[in-house]
Amino acid sequence: MEEKRLLYSKEVIDRRVKALAGAISLDLEGREVVLIGVLKGAFIFLADLARHLKIPHTVDFVRLASYGSGSVSSGNITFSKDIETDIEGKDVVIVEDIIDTGTSIAFLQKKLEERHPASIKICALIDKKQRREKTVNADYVGFALSEGFIVGYGLDFDEKFRCLPEIYVIKEGNCDHSV
């Protein structure tokens, strides 16, 4: 049996997502806002965040590919799916499930900056700091976590568990994929 421990309940997640949406709505009122979700992990978080926003906005997605295997991002990242929106002059909010080493988000931020948006903000459901390699300043963070591998609410382990309504911590390498 794999060990899976409840970390954040549905209610706790919902409360944080509403608070993040409230803060974004206040900060970016009157602006031309584009939410950019990072696939696949952010799809559920973005869906809930977008529905709690009180300001008009559009939605787009990127998917990043990182060469190399293992559970830590390698430095070599490319877009496997780019956005389709012209973000020049617009206020971008990157919506990410979890920041770990920071490699993915640092790459994405740099690439989007080259397209001259008015601003880029980072909204991460979870900021996991222990393995951080790149300096990343997230503007909106749902939960700060020091360590652990987590699943649920969009987050996967080997493509499993994304649709769990809650977030669980699992022991890496000790998981039989049962829910």
Q: Does 154 bind Mg ion (CB under 5 A)?
A: no
Q: What are 157's strand-pairing partners?
A: 160
Q: Does 100 bind ligand IMP (CB under 6 A)?
A: yes
What is the number of other CB atoms lying within 10 angstroms of the CB of residue 60? 15
Q: Select which of 100, 127, 158, 176 is catalytic.
A: 100
Q: Does 150 bind ligand IMP (CB under 6 A)?
A: yes
Residue 149's binding partner out of Mg ion, ligand IMP, none, with CB under 5 to 8 Å set by partner kind: ligand IMP
Binding mask 89-108 for Mg ion (x = CB under 5 A): --------x-----------
Among 73, 92, 123, 168, contact with ligand IMP (rule: CB under 6 A): 73
Residue 103's binding partner out of Mg ion, ligand IMP, none, with CB under 5 to 8 Å set by partner kind: ligand IMP
Among 62, 104, 168, 175, contact with ligand IMP (rule: CB under 6 A): 104
Structure tokens at 63: 């998917």
Q: For the packed helices 10-27 and 43-52, what is the interaxial angle rounded to 10 degrees?
A: 60
Annotated catalytic residue 60: no
- Asked if residue 138 lies in contact with residue 129, where contact means CB atoms within 8 angstroms, the answer is no
Binding site for ligand IMP (CB under 6 A): 38, 41, 73, 96-105, 128, 149-151, 155
Annotated catalytic residues are 100
